[in-house]
Amino acid sequence: MSLAQCAAAALPSADQQQQLRSSSSIRGRGGNNSDNLQTVLGSRGRGRPLLRSRAVVTRTMAAPVPIMVNDLTGKMGRAVADAVVARGGDTCFLVPVAFSGRAKPPVDVSGVMVEVSGLAGEGSNPGAVLEELKQKYPGLVVVDYTLPKAVNANADLYMAHGVPFVMGTTGGDRVKLLEDVRAAAHFAVIAPQMGKQVVAFQAAMKLMAENFPGAFKGYTLTVTESHQSSKVDTSGTAKALVESFNELGCEFDIGDVELVRDVPTQLGAMGVPEEHLLGHAFHTYKLRSPDGTVSFEFQHNVCGRSIYAEGTVDAALFLGNMVAGGVSGTGAARGGGKTVYDMIDVLKEGGMVTN
């Protein structure tokens, strides 16, 4: 099936999306009528204040967000693609085209046939594909779960063609990635961790570091993380949390993180269930005082990929809404003028599904 045939088969059409974008507006915070009531009638029929809102924002009901998932031939990308389809057409839909390193046979994602186009190789032209998809699917958002070595090149591709993206892939030159995207004022969600409960923990540690810098000065930190053997780089979550621990006074080199990838250790010392050896994320952070009399331990263990997949869809929907708001002039006001977000921003926005 050709790219054009795949694109023509997906719904809703551009006209239908435009109709939805032009539909009725909702006033208030979050579009929840029960939260937007400004007054209720008292016993004498007079209005009394119920909520004191800092601002009243007019929002247009958005069309379903078209989400392109790269690379859905990988385990994480496929989990996200399945989550997009499961979320339903009222909020989002899966674009029937995806990128991979090389062109591959079409993939059936819960009934949606997705053509897999190559980022490289003979006959590949990812820029032309993106331009075609932008025209066919206004409001297109790309999700990237490819390879660490492809992070910066893929981001450059998305920026060159004006496509907002959620970067779920870890690795690459993260400093350059953030600098380039911010300099381009390009809309993106860039996060090392997409699981919302883990993100909440990260946010708590970040707040602790900001409010109590140096609280653990002199303490020794050890970090152990276990993932499936196919994950070659250090956990992005571990990197983010180590940054907070260092702000709290620890002097830890991220290169000292113990990476557990061998099955015997995972089953034994780490306690990973055998059925989740090919998809898990176990992290342990231990702090010990200089004299060894005080210790703290933080641990978060995840089996499977659903927590990340659902969080990634939430991020894509958040980004789609922010881009739409930016076009209408409300996005800059809501986001304080910024265009690059992380999962803490998504979490603060609310509306994340419960996993």
Catalytic residue IDs: 227, 231
- Tell me the β-bridge partners of 296: 287
Contact 9, 21 (CB under 8 A): no
Per-residue tokens: 156: 């450059």
- CB-count burial class (<10 Å; 0-12, 13-18, 19+) for 71: buried
DSSP-assigned letters across all residues of 259-302: EE--HHHHHTTS---GGGTTSEEEEEEEEE-TTSS-EEEEEEEE
Q: Which helix (H) or strand (E) holds 28?
A: none
Residues in CB range of 34: below 8 A, 6 or more apart? none
Helices (H), the chain: 3-9, 14-21, 33-36, 75-87, 126-136, 151-160, 174-183, 196-211, 236-247, 263-267, 306-328, 331-335, 343-349
Instruction: Report the distance separating Cα 307 and Cα 318, nearest Å.
Output: 17
Q: At what angle do helices 306-328 and 196-211 cross, to 10 degrees?
A: 70
| Residue 257 three-state SS | coil
Enter the tokens of residue 292. 């060894």
Cβ atoms within 10 Å, residue 120: 13
What's the half-sphere exposure (Cβ side, CA atoms, 13 Å) at 316?
Answer: 33
Long-range Cβ contacts of 118-126 (<8 Å, 24+ apart): 119/150, 119/154, 119/157, 126/99, 126/157
